[in-house]
Structure 1
Amino acid sequence: MTAPSPVYRFRLRWMLEPGRSVKDFEGAALLALPDIGVCEIKPIAPPNHLGGQSLALIGPPTASREKAMHDAETVLGRLLQATLKLGYAVLLQPSRPQGVITPYGMEWLREQYPGIDTLYPDSLGIAIYEEKGETKFASMGALSPSVLTSFTSFVQVWDCQPPVKLSRRNLIAYELYASSRCELSSRARFLLLVMAVESLAMQEDRPADEQALIAKLVEQVKASGLTDPRRDALIGGLQMFRKISISESCRNLIAAAHAQGAIADRDAVGHFRKCYRLRSQIVHSGKTPSPEILSTESNQLEKTVRELIGWALLESAESSDLWPSEITRFMPG
């Protein structure tokens, strides 16, 4: 007897932005999508403190993983376009922290629901799976840690802090750091932490000998036979090399803070170099590490960023009179 051919489907799960949900939609519904077929869409979880309503769409059966993946990418592209047109966003990266069901937990769940033939772990984004009988997805649910801070200890720490130099640069860095603490996406959190360091770094001029070499290259380009637009673009690129790169500026800043004992991680410079390479891969190549890797790197980087901003508030060369108008309001009276 010939074994039946395997059947594959895609599952696309996403979370709406905080405070948003789909009205009049409580149970599963069928949705006919052009070029895809009939899909099932249903709500997974209501809005909570982490984000808006969570939804999932299961595609029609296909004969190959490749076809299921192609359909999933087509549907995802249309979903992103739709949210842009409607003026809101969806979350596709796992939130932080993410609940995980162990293999033992999956086996226990299978025993609790004997009518289910196949059980897969639930996750945001695209999942391509082989359908074997009654198939379901299991999730642990969002973790909701609550951390209490003693009012007395908070006031004591607040009261003993030395005067600091508030500047636009320092406040932007702190805002990026604070935003990373509130961010749901592991990828966005990681990028915000790198940006916090970038916002503090000031690009200094290269040494005189390097400046002279760049000047010679500029003169050679001016004397070339390139068309005006290409010549001007190349000269502009060379002029940018008169200052050290953002990446090097960030490493120099971290090294200076570490030399003064403000940063505890002895490999803070090396770790930031690694993080900046990951940042470049994400932004310029579209290659994103797994949420687990990003969370690990972010956890280590966050401590360095926190220490760096604290050091910058005390060491900033900028005037403390640069108070940003964005957070200052003079009330009439």
Structure 2
Amino acid sequence: MSNATEFIFSAGGFESEQEALELGQSLKNCLLVLGAKWRLGIDVGHDIASGTWADSLKQMMAEKFNLRLVDNVHGLCVIPDDLPSTAMTISASGVVDPKTSQDFGEEILSLLNQSPNLNQKDRLAFELYGSSHYEKSMRSKFLTLVLSIESLLELKDRQDDVQKLVDQLQQIVHDSEICKHEKNSIRGTLKWLRKESIGQGLKRLSDTFLSDKEYGGIPARKFLSHCYGVRSQLVHNGCHSDKTDLNILSSQLDCLVSDLLMRKIGLDEF
């Protein structure tokens, strides 16, 4: 198993297609969570066929050999079990990690029993975290890790006095003599001021889930703020002025994201 890069999970005997879909989706969630726990990338796919058999060939195999040819789907695929099926399907691929097959099987079963419930934002964050391990560029890896955290944010409204100030600014723009296009653009930007900034949201997120953690000897709140500053420099300048090695910073940020994701879904003790 230590040399494997692709895995196939199969199950049968379901009462309905919906029941099979629900278990399959639960398994995909468990794989994403396990990837975050073990700090490795597991690509569970997007349930899309990457290769298909011709309909004529499918029909011939069914008639002559009593076999169902299944398209090559990377992800979850539910098929009828009235005929034996054959295919080269891939349900997940993982980065090699020194875990035993017994560890892997036991942890998947444990997660399935706990049935982690991931909402859309959680799932996106886990997917981005997993994807970061496939990035060949260190800058891309770092930015993907930051984006994984950002995807969890739910920015809160600012206080009433700030809301009133934004209203006043909106009115000033409305009454100005600039062209309509510019007015709409500026007023659209001002709407974002009704919410806390991303930096404030990140600090609140770290205070909620990582208040007891340090990364690189720095409290999580300060470390995350520093990483977001580096992220801004990379996005806007293509490079960062920080003296920290981006490889080291990415490694530390990887640990933070893993801890954050597990605590966010209440499985940090798993």
Q: TM-score range by the shorter chain?
A: 0.5 to 0.7
CA contact (8 A) 1:163 1:314 kept: no
Counterpart of 1:185 in structure 2 is 137
Contact 2:156–2:195 (Cα < 8 Å) also in 1: yes
Residue 123 of structure 2 corresponds to 171
Question: What amino acid is the match of 2:103?
Answer: S
Distance 1:204 1:252, change over 3 A: same
Is 1:244 matched with 2:196? Answer: yes
Number of residue pairs matched by the alignment: 170
Aligned to 1:154: 104
Do the aligned residues in 2 keep the contact of 1:176 with 1:196 (CA within 8 Å)? Answer: yes
Amino acid at match of 2:165: L
Alpha-carbon distance change, 232 to 244 in structure 1, aligned in 2, over 3 angstroms: same
Spell out, residue by residue over 1:168-209, the C-alpha distance to the aligned partner (whole angstroms, 9 max, x if none): 211111111111112111111001100000111112211112
Amino acid at match of 2:209: A
The alpha-carbon deviation at position 247 of structure 1 amounts to 2.6
8 A contact 1:203–1:244 mirrored in 2: yes
Q: For 1:217 and 1:199, how far apart are their aligned partners in 2?
A: 29
Q: Does 1:286 align with 2:238?
A: yes
Aligned ranges for residues 201-220 of structure 1 at < 5 Å? 201-220=153-172
Q: Is residue 173–residue 196 contact of structure 1 (8 Å, CA) maintained in 2?
A: yes
Cα distance between partner residues in 2 of 1:275 and 1:177: 15
- Cα 1:192/1:243, change in 2 over 3 Å: same
Structure whose residues are more often helix by fraction: 2
**What CA distance in whole angstroms lies between the structure 2 residues aligned with 1:211 and 1:181?**
41
**Any conservation in 2 of the 1:165–1:314 contact (CA below 8 Å)?**
no
From 245, 252, 256, give the equivalent of 1:300.
252
C-alpha deviations, 1:206-254, integer Å up to 9, x for none? 1112111111111122222222222222111111111112232122112
CA distance in 2, matches of 1:187, 1:309: 21
Residue 291 of structure 1: CA displacement?
Answer: 11
Q: For residues 186 and 291 of structure 1, do their structure 2 counterparts lie closer, same or farther at Cα, with a shift above 3 Å needed?
A: farther
Query: Any residues of structure 2 matched to 1:90-129 within 5 Å, and which?
Result: none
- What is the rounded CA distance, in whole Å, between the counterparts of 2:155 and 2:242 in structure 1? 32
Contact 1:170–1:200 at 8 Å: present in 2 too?
A: yes
Unaligned runs of 5+ in 1: 1-48, 50-144, 316-333
Deviations 1:41-64 (A, max 9, x none): xxxxxxxx9xxxxxxxxxxxxxxx
Equivalent residue number for residue 177 of structure 2: 225
What is the rounded CA distance, in whole Å, between the counterparts of 1:264 and 1:292 in structure 2? Answer: 16
For 1:135, the equivalent position in structure 2 comes to none
Root-mean-square deviation over aligned CA pairs: 2.7
**Could you tell me the TM-score, scaled by structure 1's length?**
0.46
Q: What is the distance in 2 between the residues matched to 1:200 and 1:271?
A: 17
Q: Give me the identity figure in percent.
A: 28
Q: 1:292 to 1:208 in 2, by over 3 A?
A: closer
Whole-Å separation in 1 of the counterparts to 2:96 and 2:102? 18
Q: Which has the larger strand fraction?
A: 1
- Residue 102 of structure 2 aligns with an amino acid whose one-letter code is T
